Structure 1
Amino acid sequence: NLFTQKFTCGFRCDSIDSGLSRVTELALDQAGYSGPLPPTWNLLPYLQTLDLSNNFFYGNIPGSLSNLTRLRRLALSANSFSGAIPSSVGSLSTLEELCLDHNNLTGAIPATFNGLKNLKRLELQSNKLQGWVPPYLGPLNNLNYLDASDNSLIGELPIWLPASLVQISMRNNKLSGVVKPEVLKNLKDLQVLDLSWNKLSGAVPFALFELPSLQQLTLSFNEFSSVEGNSAGFEKSGLIAVDISNNKLRGSLPWFMAWMPQLSALSLENNMLSGMIPKEYAMKVVSPRNGESSFGRLLLGGNYLYGGIPHPLLG
Structure 2
Amino acid sequence: MSQSAFVRYRSLVDLDLSQNHITYILPRTFSNLLQLQMLTLSRNKITNILPGTISHLPQLQRLCLDYNQITTIQTGVFSNLSHLRQLLLSFNQITTIQPHAFLNLLQLRRLMLSSNQISNIQSDTFSNLPRLQTLALSRNKIINIQPSTFSNLPQLRSLSLHYNQITNILPGAFSNISLLQQLYLNNNKIKTIQSGAFSNLPKLEILRLHSNKITTIQPSMFSDLPKLLQLTLNSNRMVTLPSTAYSMLSAISSIRVSSNPWQCNCSMLPFRLKMSGSQSFENQITCSQPAKFQEQKLKDISPEDLNCEEPTIVSFQRANNNTLVQGNTLELHLVCEASGIPQPDITVTLPSGLNANAESGGRVTVDVNGTIAITNVTAADAGQYICTAGNPAGYASSTLSVDVLLNLPKTTTNASPLSVGTTGSSTHLTSNGNLVSSPTFYQPVPAASTFSSPVLVHSPPSEEPESHPNLPVSVPIATIAGAAAGTVLIGSIVFTICWKRWTRNRSVGPDPGVVSNSTDTRATVTTRGAPDTTVTVTTDGAPDTRATVTTGGAPDTTVTVTTDGAPDTTVTVTTDGAPDTMATVTTGGAPDTTVTVTTSGHDHM
TM-score by length of 1: 0.72
The yes-or-no answer on 1:88 pairing with 2:88 is no
Partner of 2:121: 132
* 1:34 partner letter: H
**1:216 aligned to 2:206?**
yes
CA distance in 2, matches of 1:104, 1:125: 10
1:9 is matched with: none
SS of the equivalent of 1:276 reads: helix
User: Are 1:87 and 1:112, in contact at CA under 8 Å, matched by a contact in 2?
Assistant: yes
Structure-2 change in CA distance of 1:185 and 1:228 (3 Å): farther
Q: Deviations over 1:149-181 (max 9, x none)?
A: 11223432432522321111112333344331x
What is the alpha-carbon distance in structure 2 between the residues aligned to residue 245 and residue 139 of structure 1? 37
Q: Does 1:158 align with 2:147?
A: yes
Q: Specify the code of the residue in structure 2 equivalent to 1:287.
A: S
Determine helix, strand or coil for the equivalent of 2:11.
strand
Largest Rg, 1 or 2: 2
Taking the TM superposition and a 5 Å limit, the aligned residue runs for 1:256-295 are: 256-267=247-258, 269-270=260-261, 275-276=267-268, 278-279=271-272, 282-283=275-276, 286-287=277-278, 294-295=280-281
Relative distance call for 1:51 and 1:207 in structure 2 (3 A) is: same
Q: Deviations over 1:22-59 (max 9, x none)?
A: 11221346xx4222242212232332211233x33333
The whole-number CA distance in structure 1 between the counterparts of 2:181 and 2:249 is: 20
Distance 1:266 1:70, change over 3 A: same
Per the alignment, do residues 231 and 132 of structure 1 end up closer, same or farther by CA in structure 2, a change over 3 Å counting?
Answer: closer
Gaps of 5+ in 2: 1-8, 303-605
AA aligned to 1:191 is Q
Tell me the equivalent position of 2:25: 38
Moved over 6 A (4+): 248-251, 271-274, 303-308
In structure 2, C-alpha distance between the alignment counterparts of 1:273 and 1:142, rounded to whole Å: 49
**Change in 2 beyond 3 A, CA 1:75/1:282:** farther
Question: Mapping of 1:300-311 within 5 angstroms?
Answer: 309-311=298-300
Q: Secondary structure at the match of 1:34?
A: coil
Q: Give matches, 1:105-254, under 5 Å.
A: 105-108=94-97, 110-161=99-150, 162-180=153-171, 182-184=172-174, 186-205=176-195, 208=198, 211-230=201-220, 233=223, 236-243=226-233, 245-247=235-237, 252=242, 254=245
- Aligned to 2:254, the other structure's residue is in SS state coil
The alpha-carbon distance between structure 1 residues 252 and 107, as it changes in their structure 2 partners (threshold 3 A), is same
What residue is the counterpart of 1:14 in the other structure? none
Q: Is the 8 A contact 2:275 2:282 kept in 1?
A: no
Q: Would you say the 8 A contact 1:111–1:134 is kept in 2? A: no
Q: d(CA) in 2 for partners of 1:35 and 1:115? A: 28
Which sections of structure 1, spanning at least 5 residues, go unmatched? 1-19, 289-293
- Find the residue that maps to 2:119 and give its secondary structure: strand
Change (3 A) 1:304 1:153: farther
Question: Distance between the aligned counterparts of 2:226 and 2:157, measured in 1?
Answer: 18
- What does residue 52 of structure 1 align with? 41
| Equivalent position amino acid for 2:141 in 1 | S
Show CA shifts across 1:221-257 (max 9, x none): 4454542324994783432232263357776373333
CA separation of 1:217/1:127 partners in 2, compared to 1, >3 Å: closer, same or farther? same
Amino acid at match of 1:298: Q
Tell me: CA distance 1:45–1:60, structure 2 relative to 1, closer, same or farther (3 Å): same
Q: SS of the residue aligned with 1:115?
A: coil
How many Å apart are 1:122 and its aligned residue? 0.6
For the structure 1 residues 167 and 310, does the alpha-carbon distance in structure 2 shift closer, same or farther, using more than 3 Å as the test?
same
CA contact (8 A) 1:120 1:143 kept: yes
Q: Is the 8 A contact 1:34 1:56 kept in 2?
A: yes
Q: Is the 8 A contact 1:243 1:268 kept in 2?
A: no
Cα distance between partner residues in 2 of 1:135 and 1:232: 28
C-alpha distance in 2 between matches for 1:232 and 1:169: 19
SS, match of residue 31 in structure 2? helix
Letter of the aligned partner of 1:36 in structure 2? T
Supply the distance in 2 between the matched residues of 1:90 and 1:157 (Cα, whole angstroms): 25
SS at match of 2:193: strand
**Cα pair 2:143 2:167 within 8 Å, conserved:** yes
Determine what percentage of the aligned residue pairs are the same residue. Answer: 24
Partner Cα separation in structure 2 for residue 88 and residue 258 of structure 1: 47
Deviation string 1:243-284 (CA, Å, 9 cap, x unpaired) is: 26335777637333333242343347248897226248743x
Residue identity matched to 2:21: S
Q: CA deviation at 1:134?
A: 3.8
State yes or no: 1:101 paired with 2:101. Answer: no
Aligned equivalents of 1:113, 1:202: Cα separation in 2: 32
Aligned length: 282
Once the 2 structures are TM-superposed, how far is the Cα of residue 145 of structure 1 from its aligned partner?
Answer: 0.6
Using the alignment, how far apart are the partners of 1:209 and 1:304 within structure 2?
Answer: 37
Query: CA contact under 8 A between 1:74 and 1:98: conserved in structure 2?
Result: yes
- Check whether the contact 1:157–1:175 (CA below 8 A) recurs between aligned residues: no
SS in 1 for 2:247: helix
| Structure number with higher relative contact order (C-alpha < 8 Å, ≥ 6 residues apart) | 1
Q: Which whole-Å CA distance do the structure 2 matches of 1:49 and 1:262 have between them?
A: 41
Residue of structure 2 in register with 1:17 after alignment: none
Q: What is the TM-score of this pair, normalised by structure 2?
A: 0.40
Could you tell me which amino acid in structure 2 is paired with residue 98 of structure 1?
Answer: L
Deviation per CA, 1:2-35, whole angstroms, max 9, x where unpaired? xxxxxxxxxxxxxxxxxx9611221346xx4222
* Deviates further, 207-216 or 91-100: 207-216
Say which SS state the counterpart of residue 168 (structure 1) adopts: strand
How far did 1:147 drift?
0.6
Q: Distance in 2 between matches of 1:273 and 1:71?
A: 59
Cα distance in 2 between the residues matched to 1:163 and 1:261:
26
Aligned pair in 2 of structure 1 residues 52, 245: CA closer, same or farther (>3 Å)?
same
Shift of 1:136: 4.1
